[in-house]
Amino acid sequence: MKRISSFRCGAIAFLVLLLVFVFGFVGYGSLSGDWENNLYLSPDVNPVISSFKSTLEVNYSSGGINYSSLSKFNLDSYKLQKFGTDFSVGLLSADSTLSFDPSNTRMNYWLAKAGMTFGGVEIDNTFVLEYLKKSSEYGAGYQLSLSGETKKGINIYLDNYFGMEKNQAEALGLVNGSGYTIVTDGGTYGPSELQYVGTTVEVTGLSFDCCQFHNTTKITESNGFEYSLFEFDIESTNLPLELEADLRFTPQTKSLKLKPRLDLDWACFDVYTNLSTSDDENLLVGGQNSTIEALAIEGFGMTDVQLGTVTFSSLTAMDGNLFRLTTESNLGLRADDYVLNPDPAYSGLYTETNYDEVVSIEKSGGDLPLTLGIDTYFNMDSETNPFDFGLFTGSAEYKFSDQFSLGAAIAVEPDQFKTMRLSFDYSF
pLDDT reading at 391 higher than 60: yes
> What residue spans define the domains of the chain?
298-428
Considering only CA atoms, which of 338, 329, 275, 327 is closest in space to residue 303? Answer: 338
Total-model pTM? 0.76
CA distance 58 to 60: 7
CA distance 12 to 16: 6
**What confidence score (pLDDT) does residue 151 get?**
84
Cβ-Cβ contacts under 8 Å for 301 (sequence gap 6 or more): 269, 270, 272, 313, 314, 315, 316, 335, 336
**What confidence score (pLDDT) does residue 278 get?**
58
**Per residue in 46-76, is it b (16+ CB within 10 Å) or e — as a string?**
eeeeeeebbbbbbbbbeeeebbbbbbbbeee
**What confidence score (pLDDT) does residue 95 get?**
95
At 313-345, the pLDDT tens digits run 999 998 889 999 888 888 888 988 998 888 776
At 166-225, the pLDDT tens digits run 998 888 777 788 999 999 988 889 999 999 999 999 999 877 766 778 999 999 998 899
The whole-chain average pLDDT of the chain stands at 83
- Could you tell me the CA-to-CA distances from 339 to 113, 258, 300, 326, 350 in Å, in that order? 34, 22, 11, 12, 9
At 34-55, the pLDDT tens digits run 999 999 998 777 778 888 999 9
More confident residue, 270 or 194: 194
**% pLDDT > 70, the chain:** 82
At 20-34, the pLDDT tens digits run 555 544 456 788 999
**% pLDDT > 90, the chain:** 42
Q: Which of 71-80, 347-356, 374-383 has the lowest mean pLDDT?
A: 374-383
